[in-house]
């Protein structure tokens, strides 16, 4: 579950779920929340609760309640990349650094004197870099006044390896132009030693700047995800840039070091293999608009393409029934009623719900994903993986929202995989990672303030006692239980000084258990009374939390026990049990993701986040391009 708003975001879940207990709730509780709830909310919900008001709804009591006030959720931002700055070499060129200012471990080499002579030519050098990189360059070379990449007037092996690695950036889904450096010719025709030294020292600085950019991008990604939207929540991954240059200055394993900055997990490597295969492959023979949405009676030039794909892959059953129809209507751009049974049959054959609506999932199953779309999805996935820890951990729980699945993975084996329901487009589930802490059996549901304000309050203004009848507990700021009917709900807007919680029961929105990993979004995994949702293909249907089709299996996995043990615990009412092992949980969002065998699968971009990340990457490229 989740609840938002500037004040609500920081409020811990326990502040909403107070600790008073009563008897079993009334039967009316089932009708109120059984249909819709079981997840938190960030955006104004689009559910059916509360029911439509009566035609002659009483006016809200006077008192400044602010009837139109809502608690809204995060938004998406126009991404702004850090502007590049000109590297200020004045600290290097003003005067030689005294020995006291140099790194304690610095030992000048035979090229040290040449470096001192060369840096004077940097005074008019226009090298642009990110602010932290510009700062690191000056800090490193002030304390270590010598070349990293040169031996005399020649590039050393470190420089050659670095240039090769930077040139292979595309194999990681990066843009090689971001790391381009003009390499001095091996046999320069210039006889001017000063001009040659000037060229070499500028190469030295440019290569160090681009190597630092590469190391940063490999470890952290090219964009700062938290700047894109409040739905992204990732801790900083500090990179000691001066330390990077120190390491490179003292190692001959430049390639190994730079490649180690990338995520070191099997998923990243599988995506790289897929990227290489895609780059070498041909485009799909028939490309259908992946966002096609076509209902009976509507028209689209994409329909004949889809029909030709169906005709090409007909089996005996479908072909025997619909072969003549396909032949006759092969070029139709109108989705006529005659074609609906065919589409339904094909959908059922592909394991979908046969509803006859041609949407993105139907297109993806029949036409596959185009090469261009696959390339973007893989490049996006590689970027997103750089936001996560390099070692994803074992055991771990991995939730992939576009796939609508959650997996428990231990020692390289997927020991549990279950269907999930995630937040609807208007109540999106965040993308973050955390650590699993506990399992609650027969949990209470502390109703998020956003649901109280956005969904309960409109009804409470006209029917203040309905929470009492439905079996919900209302408490004031001191934790004192008060009747819902005693509250003047019309006096409040977004700031309601009361808490509401639902007691454990079959009607409870969280079902029989929840799995907690405390986070500021108040998102967790839980059971649900709404089992029918798991039969649907598109399962972005909740208020934001992750509903599990197999909650007992997941609880047993994270507790390191059996399903029978979980069943026994559930016989004894409300209780909690701590997870004693370190188990990271990834509430992730990948439209391209490898299965355990390394085969990459593709999923619909349910929240349209890939295109937003592409916009952020484009903004970064636009800032970098003048300096490349």
User: 435-445: per-residue pLDDT in tens?
Assistant: 999 999 999 88
For β-strands 413-423 and 546-548, DSSP reports them as antiparallel
Q: What is the pLDDT of residue 181?
A: 95
Provide the 8-state DSSP code for 351. T
DSSP bridge partners of 575: 441
Per-position b or e across 340-375, b if 16+ CB within 10 A of its CB: bebbbbbbeeeebeebbbbbbbbbbebbbbbeebbb
Of residues 188 and 613, the one with the higher pLDDT is 613
As a whole number of angstroms, the distance between CA 588 and CA 399 comes to 6
Q: Which of 136, 174, 161 is nearest to 258 (CA)?
A: 161
Residue 3 pLDDT exceeds 50: no
How does pLDDT run across 143-177, given as a tens digit for each residue?
999 999 998 888 999 999 999 999 999 999 999 99
Residue 415 pLDDT exceeds 50: yes
Of residues 111 and 552, the one with the higher pLDDT is 552
Quote the percentage of the chain above a pLDDT of 70.
85
CA atoms within 13 A on the CB side of 4: 24
Residue 8 pLDDT exceeds 60: no
As a whole number of angstroms, the distance between CA 244 and CA 230 comes to 31
How does pLDDT run across 308-334, given as a tens digit for each residue?
888 887 777 777 788 888 889 989 999
Residue 430 pLDDT exceeds 90: yes
Residue 470 pLDDT exceeds 90: no
Quote the percentage of the chain above a pLDDT of 90.
61
Residue 562, SS3 per DSSP? coil
CA atoms within 13 A on the CB side of 498: 25
Residue 550 pLDDT exceeds 70: yes
Residue 97 pLDDT grade (very low, low, confident, very high; cuts 50, 70, 90): low
How does pLDDT run across 488-543, given as a tens digit for each residue?
998 888 888 999 988 888 778 899 999 999 999 989 999 999 999 999 989 999 98
Residue 25 pLDDT grade (very low, low, confident, very high; cuts 50, 70, 90): very low
What are the distances in angstroms from CA 384 to CA 218, 258, 388, 435? Answer: 11, 19, 7, 19
The whole-number average pLDDT for the span 410-425 is 96
Sorted by sequence, the CB contacts under 8 Å of residue 41 that are 6+ apart come out as: 1, 2, 3, 4, 71, 73, 427, 448, 450, 451, 454, 543, 544
As a whole number of angstroms, the distance between CA 203 and CA 147 comes to 10
Residue 114 pLDDT grade (very low, low, confident, very high; cuts 50, 70, 90): confident
Per-residue DSSP letters for 155-195? Answer: E-HHHHHHHHHHHTGGGGT--GGGG---PPPTT-----HHH
Residue 453 pLDDT grade (very low, low, confident, very high; cuts 50, 70, 90): confident
Residue 23 pLDDT exceeds 90: no
Residue 620 pLDDT exceeds 60: yes
Rg (alpha carbons) of the chain, rounded to whole number: 30
Q: Quick one: tokens of 364?
A: 């993806």
Q: Which of 391, 425, 426 is nearest to 584 (CA)?
A: 391
Q: Which of 273, 136, 310 is nearest to 212 (CA)?
A: 136
Q: Which of 223, 222, 231, 233 is nearest to 76 (CA)?
A: 231
As a whole number of angstroms, the distance between CA 35 and CA 382 comes to 38
User: pLDDT averaged over the chain?
Assistant: 85
Q: What is the pLDDT of residue 34?
A: 34
Residue 377 pLDDT exceeds 70: yes
As a whole number of angstroms, the distance between CA 422 and CA 540 comes to 5
Q: What is the pLDDT of residue 52?
A: 36
Interhelix angle for 609-624 vs 371-385, to 10°? 80
What are the distances in angstroms from CA 65 to CA 160, 460, 489, 540? Answer: 70, 12, 8, 33
What are the distances in angstroms from CA 448 to CA 453, 491, 516, 544? Answer: 9, 19, 16, 11
Taking residue 488's Cβ as centre, other Cβ atoms within 10 Å add up to 14
As a whole number of angstroms, the distance between CA 559 and CA 124 comes to 63
Are 502 and 29 in contact by the 8 Å Cβ rule? The answer is yes
Q: What is the pLDDT of residue 101?
A: 60
Q: What is the pLDDT of residue 71?
A: 73
Residue 279, SS3 per DSSP? helix
Taking residue 313's Cβ as centre, other Cβ atoms within 10 Å add up to 12
How does pLDDT run across 204-259, given as a tens digit for each residue?
999 999 999 999 999 999 999 999 999 999 999 999 999 999 999 999 999 999 99
Helices (H) and strands (E) in the chain, counts: 20, 22
Q: Tell me how far apart the 2 most distant CA atoms of the chain are, in Å.
A: 95
Least confident of 42-56, 104-118, 128-142: 42-56
E-assigned strands of 458-505?
472-475, 481-482, 499-502
Per-position b or e across 431-462, b if 16+ CB within 10 A of its CB: bbbbbbbbbbbbbbbbbbbbbbbbbbbbbbbb
For the domain made up of 392-444+505-590, give the CATH fold.
L,D-transpeptidase catalytic domain-like (2.40.440)
Taking residue 187's Cβ as centre, other Cβ atoms within 10 Å add up to 5
Sorted by sequence, the CB contacts under 8 Å of residue 245 that are 6+ apart come out as: 136, 140, 144, 148, 208, 211, 212
| Angle, vertex CA 295, rays to CA 294 and CA 298, nearest 5 | 80
Q: Quick one: tokens of 319?
A: 């072909």
Element (H, E) at 441: strand 438-441
> Can you give the residue ranges of every domain in the chain?
1-33+445-502, 85-263, 303-367, 392-444+505-590
Residue 72 pLDDT grade (very low, low, confident, very high; cuts 50, 70, 90): confident
How does pLDDT run across 279-317, given as a tens digit for each residue?
999 877 788 888 899 999 999 999 999 998 888 877 777
As a whole number of angstroms, the distance between CA 210 and CA 152 comes to 22
Write the Ramachandran bin of 86: left for phi over 0, alpha for psi from -120 to 50, otherwise beta: beta
Residue 555 pLDDT exceeds 50: yes
Sorted by sequence, the CB contacts under 8 Å of residue 149 that are 6+ apart come out as: 155, 156, 158, 159, 162, 203, 204, 207, 208
Q: What is the pLDDT of residue 452?
A: 86
As a whole number of angstroms, the distance between CA 487 and CA 476 comes to 10
Q: What is the pLDDT of residue 53?
A: 38
Q: Quick one: tokens of 534?
A: 């798991």
């Amino acid at each position: 579950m989740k609840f938002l708003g500037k004040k609500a975001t920081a409020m811990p879940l326990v502040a909403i779920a107070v600790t008073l207990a009563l008897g079993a709730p009334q039967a009316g509780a089932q009708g109120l929340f059984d249909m819709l709830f079981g997840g938190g909310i960030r955006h104004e919900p689009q559910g059916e609760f509360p029911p439509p008001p009566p035609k002659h709804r009483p006016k809200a009591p006077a008192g400044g309640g602010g009837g139109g006030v809502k608690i809204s959720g995060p938004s998406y931002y126009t991404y702004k990349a850090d502007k590049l700055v000109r590297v200020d070499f004045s600290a290097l060129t003003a005067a030689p650094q005294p020995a006291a200012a140099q790194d304690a471990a610095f030992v000048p080499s035979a090229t040290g004197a040449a470096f001192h002579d060369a840096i004077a030519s940097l005074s008019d050098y226009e090298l642009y870099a990110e602010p932290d990189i510009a700062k690191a360059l000056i800090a490193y070379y002030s304390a270590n006044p010598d070349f990293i990449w040169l031996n005399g007037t020649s590039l050393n092996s470190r420089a050659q390896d670095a240039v090769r690695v930077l040139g292979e950036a595309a194999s990681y889904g990066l843009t090689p132009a971001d790391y381009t450096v003009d390499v001095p010719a091996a046999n320069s025709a210039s006889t001017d030693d000063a001009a040659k030294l000037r060229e070499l020292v500028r190469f030295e600085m440019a290569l160090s700047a681009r190597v630092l950019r590469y190391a940063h991008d490999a470890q952290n990604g090219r964009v700062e995800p938290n700047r894109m939207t409040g739905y992204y929540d990732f801790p900083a991954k500090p990179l000691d840039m001066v330390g990077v240059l120190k390491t490179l200055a003292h190692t001959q394993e430049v390639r190994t070091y730079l490649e180690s900055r990338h995520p070191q997990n099997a998923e990243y490597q599988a995506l790289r293999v897929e990227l290489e295969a895609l780059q070498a492959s041909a485009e799909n023979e028939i490309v259908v608009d992946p966002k096609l949405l076509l209902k009976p009676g509507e028209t689209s030039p994409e329909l004949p393409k889809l029909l030709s794909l169906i005709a090409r892959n007909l089996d005996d059953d479908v072909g025997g029934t619909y072969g003549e129809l396909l032949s006759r209507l092969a070029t139709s751009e109108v989705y006529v009623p005659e074609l609906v049974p065919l589409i339904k049959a094909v959908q059922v054959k592909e394991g979908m719900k046969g509803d006859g609506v041609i949407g993105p999932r139907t297109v993806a199953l029949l036409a596959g994903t185009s090469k261009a779309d696959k390339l973007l999805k893989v490049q996006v996935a590689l970027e997103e993986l750089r936001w996560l820890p390099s070692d994803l951990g074992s055991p771990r729980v991995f939730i992939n929202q576009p796939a609508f699945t959650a997996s428990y993975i231990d020692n390289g084996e997927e020991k549990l995989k279950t269907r999930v329901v995630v937040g609807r487009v208007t109540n999106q589930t965040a993308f973050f990672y955390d650590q699993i802490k506990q399992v609650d059996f027969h949990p209470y549901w502390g109703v998020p303030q956003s649901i109280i304000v956005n969904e309960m309050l409109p009804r409470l203004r006209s029917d203040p006692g309905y929470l009492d009848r439905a079996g919900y507990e209302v408490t004031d700021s001191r934790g004192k239980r008060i009747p819902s009917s005693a509250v003047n709900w019309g006096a409040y807007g977004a700031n309601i000084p009361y808490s509401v919680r639902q007691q454990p029961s079959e009607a409870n929105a969280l079902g029989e258990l929840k799995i907690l990993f405390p986070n500021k979004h108040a998102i967790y995994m839980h059971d649900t009374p709404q089992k029918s949702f798991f039969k649907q293909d598109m399962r972005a249907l909740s208020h934001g939390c992750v509903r599990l089709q197999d909650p007992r299996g997941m609880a047993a996995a994270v507790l390191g026990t059996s399903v029978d043990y979980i069943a026994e615990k559930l016989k004894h009412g409300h209780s909690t049990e701590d997870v004693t092992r370190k188990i990271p949980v990834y509430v992730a969002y990948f439209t391209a993701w490898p299965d355990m065998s390394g085969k990459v699968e593709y999923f619909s971009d349910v929240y349209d986040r890939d295109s937003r990340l592409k916009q952020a990457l484009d903004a970064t490229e636009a800032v970098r391009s003048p300096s490349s």
